[in-house]
Amino acid sequence: MISFVEGIVEEVAADYVVFNVNGIGYQVFVTAATSLSLQPGAQERLHTQYHVREDAHLLYGFKTKNERNLFVRLQNVSGIGPKAALTIVGSAPVGDVVAAIQSEQADFLKKLPGIGAKTAQRIIIELKDKLDDIGIAGTGAAAPVKEPGGKSNRELFDALLSLGYNEKEVRNVMRSLADEIEQGLPLESLIKKALQELFTK
């Protein structure tokens, strides 16, 4: 079990980072938000989960233990593997996802990428009473949750890359638009704001 990875960030890509730990490079798969928060050359730590399959040994990394714990619990749900679990964790704040599950807000879960009505119900049924140690769980309150914004994060990133901007330019402009992305502005509006910033640079 590899609980965390700490070292120098050697490489940052859209869905993974490479850590240099005492001369050994560890590829760690991450959410788009985590990727955007890391800079090459910086000393960082990610909480990790080690996943073994027939053709590969994979590491998934998270900024917080709550993110990692939710990622692990989601994989206990029938039909959800590491890739789907990572997408869910990266699409909305952990507290919002936990609140939606506890208060049986299937409509919120269905807005997450790749989650249909049946999967949303399975998540609620199988995890509703198993998240007491994560996020805001255990309060007994059906807390309101915000629209998930991780999908817009990914779509904006891909859209700007397709327009010919490089990853460094895209990451920089997305950091400057972090508040707008968190507010859940429509993708079209985010692209316009991003282009305005890029044109002025």
What is the reported pLDDT for 137? 40
Q: Going by CATH, does the domain composed of 73-127 fall within 3.40.190.290?
A: no
pTM, whole model, 2 decimals?
0.71
Q: Are 170 and 197 spatial neighbours (Cβ–Cβ below 8 Å)? A: no
Interatomic CA distance for residues 182 and 200, integer angstroms: 23
**Tell me: the pLDDT tens digits for 12-57?**
988 999 999 999 999 999 988 888 888 899 999 999 999 998 898 9
Please give the CATH architecture assigned to the domain spanning 4-62. Answer: Beta Barrel (2.40)
Pairing of strands 16-21, 43-53: unpaired
CB atoms within 10 A of CB 108: 22
pLDDT band at 61 (very low <50, low <70, confident <90, very high): very high
Which candidate, 151, 157, 70, places its Cα nearest to that of 110?
Answer: 151
Output the six-digit token pair for 97: 């996802």
**Tell me: the pLDDT tens digits for 76-118?**
999 999 999 999 998 888 888 999 999 999 999 998 888 999 9
What is the reported pLDDT for 136? 52
